[in-house]
Structure 1
Amino acid sequence: MPTITLNIRFFPHHPQLLRQLGEEYIRVVNELTEQMEHQKSFPKLTTKHVNANLPSAVLNQAIRDARSVFKKMKKTGKRPILKKRVYFVNNQNYSIGKDIIAFPIMQNGAVEKTKFRAMITERDQKFLANAKLGLMRIVEKSGKWYAQVSIDVPVSEKDNEKVMGVDLGLKVPAVAVTSTGKTRFFGNGRMNKYIRRNYQEQRKKLGKLKKLSAIRKLNNKEHRVMTDINHKISRQIVNLAIQEEVSVIKLERLTNIRQTARTSRKNEKHLHTWSFYQLSKFIEYKAKLAGISVVYVNPKYTSQLCPQCGAKNKAKDRQYRCQDCGYTTHRDRVGALNIMSVPVMDGVA
């Protein structure tokens, strides 16, 4: 079952109290990991061993988080220090109604499961009706409070064998080809580069004026704009897959995207900031909700092999022409065709 996160906005009666609880939560996690760093081990702990102004259910979750951080610390050799306020509640200790959420908080030394008015959309209600609830994370963003709820959504798998191959690139963000014969180009690479170049020029001007706060705000705005573009492209791709009754989407394995992607010195800075990974994950996430499987294939030579005869050729500009059989098409369509045809065995290509 795919796991998704719902962002539910709610309205606390006393925001400062939640801020204090969030600070207490990260204090506990940081102090426990610091202690265990010196001890070189993480012994079994219960709420009796930890002094904190948190409900026992929340404190238990903080101990589990500290243990998880400690395990990562052993692998990396560096102890991360939490700084942003956060408050986690497991699925046994919160509830969600039509327009309320309720979870335990500590107030005046007593634990009370408190109800908060919430904005829960019809879409979220549909997900919540059939989903298995997971961890809930309470966060504050720009003065607004959100309950981020992790849920497992049941989907019905498609049983046909129609396939879609998707090629990701710079000039054309995505090209999809289906085994039913459909080809679609998604996004506008030139527009994306213009947007990024515009933000880059603004950052340079602000940098000369040493306006660091304004630069951070600009970075956040650029991230939101590009994320929105990726969301729209991924939705269009999955909608095409649903329309063509596709059961499997094949994407490029992006491990070495910077080495394998077609680029030039002119495009290199855009490649290193382009969110290939984010787009592929958005496609995977939306596809799984629609009951469509996603597999990743090796992109090696997918832009060079002729889909018709298998000969290797290098495309000139945006046109691909096979020197052996004369096959001609758009170069990015070649990549999508070859990705679609890569055989998959046991989920590995």
Structure 2
Amino acid sequence: MAQTITVKVKLLPTTEQIQRLKQNSNEYIQVINMLVAEMVEEKKSTKKTTKDVPANLPSAVKNQAIKDAKSVFSTKVKKSKYTIVPILKKPVCVWNNQNYSFDFTHISIPLMVEGKSNRVKIRALFIDKDNRNFDLLKHKLGTLRITQNSGKWVAQISVTIPTTEKTGTRVLGVDLGLKVPAVAITEDDKVRFFGSGRENKYMKRKFRSVRKILGKQKKVNAIRNLDDKEQRWMKDKDHKISREIVNFAVENKISVIRLEQLTNIRQTTRTSRKNEKNLHTWCTR
């Protein structure tokens, strides 16, 4: 048995590297959107290769974009019988595990430099407070996603960790969402719902409304204080839900809690205008 998690690493790119990351990230999602649109029109998956993709991206990155576009088409478009056509909005760039490396001070990736693919070393902060990242990154590595969150560049490395589950071990599966923040189900089909998606969306709308008023009044400090208050409220809700899940697990003599794979939870799609702001501002810590 194995579990896939995402290790987040803060990046400290130079000004020049930031420009290259922005260029690569924007082109990456443009390629995916273009390929998905073509597949929707033709009603079938693309057979294009990197040579058929006109983008200023390294071949390895083009190849990954083609894979991601096929995945979006099969899991979103075809599954919805063409009623949902996702459009990626948030700039992001992805490399497979054969096209990046790191030495715990830098991450090395291929980027386009003056029209040619060159490996670029970007300073990275791998050290966390308990050195947990060092241990996690010793396992099987998956894709590397680099994106910008709140002005900061972050690398997200997918890691597959083997689990040692013995016969008789009881497992609790937990699925995360917006309408219902968390749903837990045991192996004998006991189900419990946690949190209120309606309440969460109401509070998010309330905070956005107040923030809009303060923005018109140019009250910058008040907006910052409001943002801090919103984050505290969100973290409190997350903490209470996680505690309820643990209590439910204890009541049912659960040994392992397995979360859904969250590797691509921030991959931006316009599947619901009503939910998109809640998805991309919600706390994931």
Amino acid at match of 1:234: S
Give structure 1 stretches of 5+ with no counterpart. Answer: 167-188, 252-277, 283-349
Distance in 2 of aligned mates of 1:10 and 1:96:
12
Percent identity, aligned pairs only?
A: 44
Give structure 2 stretches of 5+ with no counterpart. Answer: 175-194, 260-281
Cα deviations across residues 96-143 of structure 1 (Å, max 9, x unaligned)? 2222211111111111122111111311111112x1111111101122
Inter-CA distance 236–6: structure 2 relative to 1 (3 Å threshold): farther
Distance in 2 of aligned mates of 1:88 and 1:216:
33
Instruction: Give the 5 Å matches for 1:198-209.
Output: 205=210
Amino acid at match of 2:44: S
Distance in 1 of aligned mates of 2:206 and 2:53:
51
Instruction: Give the 5 Å matches for 1:300-319.
Output: none
Query: Which residue in the other structure is 1:9 paired with?
Result: 10
Query: Which residue in the other structure is 2:66 paired with?
Result: 63
Query: Which residue in the other structure is 1:74 paired with?
Result: 78
Amino acid at match of 1:62: A
Which of 112, 119, 125 matches 2:125? 119
Q: Is the 8 A contact 1:206 1:212 kept in 2?
A: no
Distance in 1 of aligned mates of 2:235 and 2:161:
23
Q: Is the 8 A contact 1:47 1:60 kept in 2?
A: yes
Q: Is the 8 A contact 2:31 2:55 kept in 1?
A: yes
Inter-CA distance 161–10: structure 2 relative to 1 (3 Å threshold): closer
Instruction: Give the 5 Å matches for 1:64-103.
Output: 64-71=67-74, 72-76=76-80, 77=82, 78-103=84-109
Query: Which residue in the other structure is 2:270 paired with?
Result: none
Amino acid at match of 1:145: W
Distance in 2 of aligned mates of 1:198 and 1:64:
37
Which of 139, 144, 159 matches 1:136? 144
Inter-CA distance 221–6: structure 2 relative to 1 (3 Å threshold): farther
Instruction: Give the 5 Å matches for 1:175-324.
Output: 205=210, 222=230, 225-227=233-235, 229-231=237-239, 234=242, 247=255
Distance in 2 of aligned mates of 1:55 and 1:15:
17
Inter-CA distance 25–225: structure 2 relative to 1 (3 Å threshold): same
Inter-CA distance 212–227: structure 2 relative to 1 (3 Å threshold): farther
Query: What is the deviation of 1:249?
Result: 6.0
Inter-CA distance 246–198: structure 2 relative to 1 (3 Å threshold): closer
Give the length in aligned residue pairs: 229
Distance in 2 of aligned mates of 1:114 and 1:250:
36
Amino acid at match of 1:10: L
Cα deviations across residues 291-322 of structure 1 (Å, max 9, x unaligned)? xxxxxxxxxxxxxxxxxxxxxxxxxxxxxxxx
Structure with the greater relative contact order (CA < 8 A, sep ≥ 6): 1 or 2?
2
Distance in 2 of aligned mates of 1:163 and 1:115:
41
Inter-CA distance 70–19: structure 2 relative to 1 (3 Å threshold): same
SS of the residue 2:162 aligns to: coil
Query: Which residue in the other structure is 1:39 paired with?
Result: 42
Query: Which residue in the other structure is 2:114 paired with?
Result: 108
Query: What is the deviation of 1:42?
Result: 2.4
Query: Which residue in the other structure is 2:275 paired with?
Result: none
Query: What is the deviation of 1:43?
Result: 3.3
Matched, 1:145 2:149: no
Q: Is the 8 A contact 2:214 2:223 kept in 1?
A: no
Query: What is the deviation of 1:37?
Result: 2.1
Inter-CA distance 40–199: structure 2 relative to 1 (3 Å threshold): closer
Distance in 1 of aligned mates of 2:171 and 2:45:
47
Instruction: Give the 5 Å matches for 1:331-342.
Output: none
Alignment root-mean-square deviation, CA: 4.5
Amino acid at match of 1:83: K
Query: Which residue in the other structure is 1:269 paired with?
Result: none
SS of the residue 1:153 aligns to: strand
SS of the residue 1:41 aligns to: coil
Query: What is the deviation of 1:22?
Result: 0.6
Cα deviations across residues 149-194 of structure 1 (Å, max 9, x unaligned)? 1111122225566899x9xxxxxxxxxxxxxxxxxxxxxx9xxx9x
Q: Is the 8 A contact 1:159 1:247 kept in 2?
A: no
Inter-CA distance 79–225: structure 2 relative to 1 (3 Å threshold): same
Inter-CA distance 96–35: structure 2 relative to 1 (3 Å threshold): same
